[in-house]
A and B are shown apart, each in its own frame.
Chain A
Amino acid sequence: MTRSDASAPEVEVSALARHFGRRRALAGVSFTLRAGDALALFGPNGAGKTTLLRLLAGLLKPTSGTARIEGELLPGTATTRSRVGLISHHSLLYGALTAAENVAFSARLYGVADPEQAALRALDRLGVADRAATPVRLLSRGLLQRVSAARALVHGPRVLLADEPYTGLDAAGAAALTSVLQELLAGGTTLILVTHQLDEGLALATQAAILLRGQVVRHDHTAIADPAAYTAAYRALVRADAA
């Protein structure tokens, strides 16, 4: 598949399942995303959202089913992994290193030219360039999250996996992140966004899915026109599942 083949799926997940011992974390999840698509994944804690992202990031192997990124079966080669970016609800940063050092370290691992400058550009994009020389252990949760996003974006991923990227962000931070994600989507990046904040997720999503007990119980293949109705439907599904 070539980058010019716009109709080819960027992310293709087919009957993906993952068990941890006897516990089923994910079962029969399938979806397809093309360049520029944004899938918002919602679900209560323990629904399997993070497991799905870890499978797509190559951090876990599936029990059954397949996942492909740009046609290549995961966990894939180094080239495949270089096209993926991961924002986790953990910062994935080293507390003793500065924000710039953390991002530059990631840039080096992805083979980005001039990693120091690339790190500063990424931090600037997330509005934290003024904290570049600060050890990240001294940053607030929100600033840490912005540096974490800069780390995930420094190599210009084609597929971005974002697990609770809004955690700890204030209004300005959330707006900065949303603006960056919108830019990425406009540039053809494919986004899979896991969030509990339905408004922010739906504002970006071209598709939305609800995971309950490892299964997709609702998948809308177009942007949600009525977020309030969707939110009400989501809450009803979660309530019914918990009952």
Chain B
Amino acid sequence: MPPDFFAAALIVARKDLAIEFRTRSAYFSALVFALLAIVVFYFAWDRTAVGSGDLAPGVIWVIFVFGGLLGLHRSFGVEMHDRALDALLAAPVPRESLFVGKALANLVFVLGVQVIAIPAVFVLYKVPLGIEILYVIGLAVLAAIGFVAVGTLFSSMASNTRLAELLLPLLTLPFFIPVVVAAASSSQRVIAGRPLAESMAWLQLLVAFDIVFVYACTFAFPYTLEE
């Protein structure tokens, strides 16, 4: 009896994470990029002109987007090598479950980078370590859900082309704008010590983005695979 929708998604996610754990290529690339970006921004920072609370959110979300893109590119890259994707598509599981599995693995990847990068930004930029860091991590989780939904879909589309590395950022970055604007604005207010109520509209935007794009991308995914 073939596995049900979520069981199939977990099988695919587990396989993707096993490959990443074995090779660690994309994760270390993303982590090195994140730490390098944190250091570069730190040395370019004029403390007399910009406060740490104003700079830190920008650094976090730049790392989030560009570090995450490294993982998204790998997501379908491993399927195209020796056409492993064909075996996945021929399997007796819904194609939507393949998407959810890949998106889950990407979510773990993106959050795995952020769980190191966000505390590093807080420490290096001397942002007070209080409840704010938990709020920013919560925002990263919300932002990551929409980010990987859109990114996984476009990764599958771009992987079939010879210009995958160029196309993926070109296709995805416009879609990431609402996520980045909402997450950066919200985290900037919280780090600056403003009341949480000021961030609620941005939070609602993030949640709405997640709901709409998780559904839309899941159901659009099978159509991106047709030749």
**A106-B91 CB under 8 A given contacts A92-B83, A94-B78, A111-B1:** yes
* Interface status of B23 (Cβ within 8 A of chain A): yes
**Which of A31-39, A78-86, A190-198, A208-216 interfaces with chain B?**
A78-86
Across the interface, do B15 and A97 meet the contact criterion of CB distance under 8 Å? yes
Across the interface, do B86 and A109 meet the contact criterion of CB distance under 8 Å? no
B-side contacts of A88, CB under 8 Å: 83, 86
Across the interface, do A110 and B92 meet the contact criterion of CB distance under 8 Å? yes
A106 to B2, CA, bound (A): 11
Across the interface, do A101 and B83 meet the contact criterion of CB distance under 8 Å? no
Residue total for B at the interface (Cβ-Cβ under 8 A): 26
Across the interface, do B19 and A57 meet the contact criterion of CB distance under 8 Å? no
* Interface status of A168 (Cβ within 8 A of chain B): no
Across the interface, do B93 and A92 meet the contact criterion of CB distance under 8 Å? no
Which of B15, B22, B92 is close to A78, meaning CB atoms less than 8 Å apart?
B92
Most chain A CB inside 10 Å of its own CB: which residue of B2, B8, B18:
B2
**A86-B18 CB under 8 A given contacts A95-B81, A108-B3, A111-B1:** no
* Interface status of A105 (Cβ within 8 A of chain B): yes
Across the interface, do A109 and B92 meet the contact criterion of CB distance under 8 Å? yes
A96 to B17, CA, bound (A): 11
A106 to B12, CA, bound (A): 10
Across the interface, do A94 and B84 meet the contact criterion of CB distance under 8 Å? yes
B-side contacts of A101, CB under 8 Å: 18
Interface residues of B in 4-51 (CB under 8 A from A): 8, 11, 15, 18-19, 22-23
* Interface status of A61 (Cβ within 8 A of chain B): yes
Across the interface, do A151 and B92 meet the contact criterion of CB distance under 8 Å? no
* Interface status of B89 (Cβ within 8 A of chain A): yes
> Which B residues have a C-beta under 8 Å from some C-beta of A?
1-3, 8, 11, 15, 18-19, 22-23, 78, 81-84, 86-94, 226-227
18 A–B contacts, CB within 8 A, in A order: A57-B86, A61-B226, A79-B92, A81-B90, A82-B2, A82-B92, A86-B86, A92-B83, A95-B82, A96-B78, A97-B19, A97-B22, A106-B87, A106-B91, A109-B3, A109-B88, A111-B1, A111-B92
The 10 residue pairs across chains A and B that have the minimum distance between CB atoms: A82-B92, A78-B92, A90-B83, A92-B87, A81-B92, A109-B91, A111-B2, A96-B22, A111-B1, A96-B19
Supplied contacts A84-B90, A94-B78, A111-B2, 11 more A-B pairs, CB within 8 Å: A57-B86, A59-B90, A79-B2, A81-B90, A90-B83, A96-B23, A96-B78, A109-B88, A109-B91, A109-B93, A111-B3
